[in-house]
Chains A and B, each alone.
Chain A
Amino acid sequence: MDYIYIGIILLLFFAANFLFQKIHIPPLLAYILMGIALSVVITEEIYILADHIGEIGIMLLFFLLGLHYPLNHLLNISRRIWQVGTMDVILNFGVTFLLAQLFGFGLFTSLIMGGVAYASSSSITIKMLEDTDRDKTPEGEFKVGLLIFEDIVAPVMVSFLVGFSIEGVISGEGIILITVRVVLLILASILIAVYGFRRLELFVNRYLAREFMPLFTLAVAFLIAGLAVYMDLSKLLGVFLAGVILSETRASDGMDSFIEPIKNVTLPFFFFWFGASISFEVGIMAPGFLLLLILWGLIAKMLIGFWGGRIYGLTWKGSLRAAFSLGQRGEFSVVIAALGDPLLRTFCGIYIVVTALVGVLNFHRAPEYAENVFCRLKKTFPGWFANTKNL
């Protein structure tokens, strides 16, 4: 291992972050673009290293998120999010699949396209929420709820598609099995949180400042993530649940302070790896259809953000902000795309990069867009807003 490469990459991260902040563009775009640009020159070793470090970064991001969602709060959100989550599956996976079928693509290709279009990028969304200081707003809570729902559905979908790609048939048993595992992991987490970690409150708070506490905290995080992976579930779901469990000790802020710096150093590697992992091996197939899917992908997420936001209980403007903040696809789409042939991988790669870039830019300017759209809606349909006045 040549450590000089790590030094160079970190220096590039620093320069890119600094520069992008100066020109008011989200820095994570810089990491993704760096990954795309350097994918042809970096060695396999660097690629694997970025993957490993980045994985730790993304896991810590989800762990920190979980730390701020106590069990009761999470149950409160889940009560309101399931309807929106179901709509998300229908509009993004279902309609994309149907469009692909209508345009004459094969069953497996259509399923892959539906899978790639389904989930918003959790990592990009959470990082953007953090960067724009909107993580504690009502729509921030809504987005987190939806992402968690997607992270629960995603492994089921991956298992379904992997089974289909290997055996050419859909295994009903396999889907039931993975659904049971998801339920079991969540139930186990609730039990551990209620009967285990609530009782550790005194212990954790007493020793929070001691040097062994980061070890304890990270041990819990990785053990539960490992358990999730062992059960063929998402490690991100596992590590998020670990955060939820530890939040029952009421020491989230203290734990946050020693995990945050590690996350800040490791997370850029994830976005770098994400950019580098997107494949552009061969020419683009069906460019017109690709454009249609990108447009639908952005519109469908807008519908989910807006309509879902209203169902969830957000205000008009809050729903509009959510509508402009969910378009970006990411890591989950990359995993699904990898199941296809080179032609399909390139098709999906372009889809992911374009939605990620447009999604991040939209996210950044969502409050401004929401305000403009709201004013226009109010002028065009005054009846809808009869009860909504301005100061």
Chain B
Amino acid sequence: MVVNVVIVGGGRVGRELAANLSEKQQTVVIVEKDPEVAKMLKKKLDVLVVNDDGANMATLVKAGIRNAGICIAVTQIDELNLMVCMMADRAGVPTTIARVRNPEGQSNIADTGFSKDEIGVDHVINPERELALEISKMLHYPEAAEIEYFAGGRVMMVATTVTEDTEITGYSLKDVPLPQGCIIVGIKRKDGSFIVPSGEDTVMVGDKVYLIGNVKVMRKASWILHHRETIVKNVVILGGDTVGFTLASILENNPDRKFKIKLIEKDENICKELNRKLTKTMVLHGNYSELSYLNAEEISEADALVTVSGDDRTNIVAAIMGEKLGVKKIVAELTNNEYTYVYDTVGIDNYVNTHLITAYKILRFTRKGDVLALSHLKEQNAEVMELIVPESCKAAGAKVKDANFPKGMLIGTIVRGEEIIVPYGDTVLQPGDNLIIFTLTSISRKLDTYFC
């Protein structure tokens, strides 16, 4: 079924959302106030662009808000996003999503005494918090280039590059000596091609493999893949804006591991504020753009360096410096996709893109059915989703091999009550099963046919 989606705000997030949704044959209308940006959107995307002020009801009506299934407000201004969602809700839009960057703004919604329903916002996305959460996951599992948790943290997906030390090259996948409870669901070859493998495919050195499985066996699988285990304890965060602060707070409150966190911020006033808010982090005042002795000294003794200064060039230079100083894990924030090639050139593959993360978090809410989580891979041509098998769907009660699933998708695990199952052809799908599915983006929309 085609859903009409109105996106207010044509920035990087809006653009990503529009591209992704239109690729999935949804009807997308973007409302963008800036004529230059609107012109560029018209040129680059195959969507309808309304060049007007989204804060105006008449504009929203012009964009088709009365027939829209979803309204997504992702302008730069939090208050405007909330207002657009309120108007959309009044116009009868079933799902409204607002991006709220200021974490205080998000809590203010609760402080008003109104529920989200009363305000008219169904989902609030905080990009900075999502990014910080993403980075925190990477610090917990440093060997992984990408990592995602499903089923309340019981199942995880890990992407990692295969090195010469690994024990899995040269085998066909059905014979690969991986521990029971995990499976390789995707391979990105050195030449850039991406496959959802069958049992006959083999893994080669330099491939990036995607594993899905029970978290309890993933450490063992990781050991087979890398023959090393990196434990991150000393973390240096470069940049004390919202992302840096949120990440430090998340790490401070981690119940499983005690991190020693140092946060370097160049603005003295921000340092003072951070010292008032953070309880375990050592906040250092240093000008990271000058790469002063302080920074080199601190970075050289870190297990992990997170560069979230908000400026791509600073992040790149700091990441290179971290690489030279032998830091085991480097995670860099990327705000402009044009810099991706620089990271690839210098061999730093752990970068996180705020806009993409925000867009993908929003996309989850645009899916029909019982989609619990949706995670897009950095390669952008595959995604992992977690969904519940509805009683009414075609696949319920069928064996996996008889369900006629399209090529290009693989069920990684089935969570059935307390059980975590890696399915085979004869495994029967039951209503209420929690499936973690790896699928190529190009066919992901077809899954609605099987699970709705």
Contacts and interface: CB of A to CB of B under 8 A. Distances in A.
Contacts of B260: 313
A346 B119 CA distance: 77
A387 B301 CA distance: 7
A137 B301 contact: no
Interface residues of B, number: 25
A387 B279 CA distance: 27
Interface stretch (B4-12, B82-90, B270-278): B270-278
Contact of B262 (A76, A136, A313, A387): A313
B279 A388 contact: no
B301 A72 contact: no
Contacts of B276: 70, 72-73
A232 B324 CA distance: 55
Nearest to B269: A253
B297 to A, nearest CB: 5
Interface string A230-258: 00000000000000000000001000000
B280 A79 contact: yes
A72 B275 contact: yes
B278 A76 contact: yes
B436 to A, nearest CB: 36
Contacts of B297: 315, 317-318
Given A387-B301, A388-B301, A76 B325 contact: no
A390 interface: yes
Nearest to A70: B276
Interface string A107-138: 00000000000000000000000000000111
Contact of B325 (A137, A317, A391): A391
A72 B325 CA distance: 32
A257 B222 CA distance: 57
B126 interface: no
A138 B283 CA distance: 8
A160 interface: no
Contacts of A72: 275-279
A316 interface: yes
Interface size class of A (residues with CB under 8 A): 20 to 34
Interface string A304-327: 000000000101111000000000
A390 B300 contact: yes
B285 interface: yes
Contacts of B294: 137-138
Contacts of A141: 282
Given A72-B276, A76-B275, A313 B321 contact: no
Contacts of A187: none
A136 B285 contact: yes
A315 B297 CA distance: 7
Contacts of B310: none
Contact of B300 (A73, A138, A313, A389): A389
B298 A315 contact: yes
A387 B326 CA distance: 7
Nearest to B300: A388
B79 to A, nearest CB: 24
Interface in A274-325: 313, 315-318
Interface in A130-172: 136-138, 141
Residue from B278, B281, B282, B326 with most neighbouring chain A CB atoms (10 Å):
B282
Contacts of A317: 297
B324 A73 contact: no
B284 interface: yes
B296 interface: yes
Contacts of B324: 389, 391
Interface string B38-50: 0000000000000
20 contacts: A72-B276, A72-B277, A76-B278, A76-B279, A76-B281, A76-B282, A79-B280, A136-B268, A136-B285, A138-B284, A138-B294, A141-B282, A313-B262, A313-B282, A388-B300, A388-B326, A389-B300, A389-B324, A389-B326, A391-B296
Interface of A: 70, 72-73, 75-76, 79, 136-138, 141, 252, 313, 315-318, 387-391
Nearest 4 Cβ contacts at the A-B interface = A73-B275, A389-B326, A315-B297, A70-B276
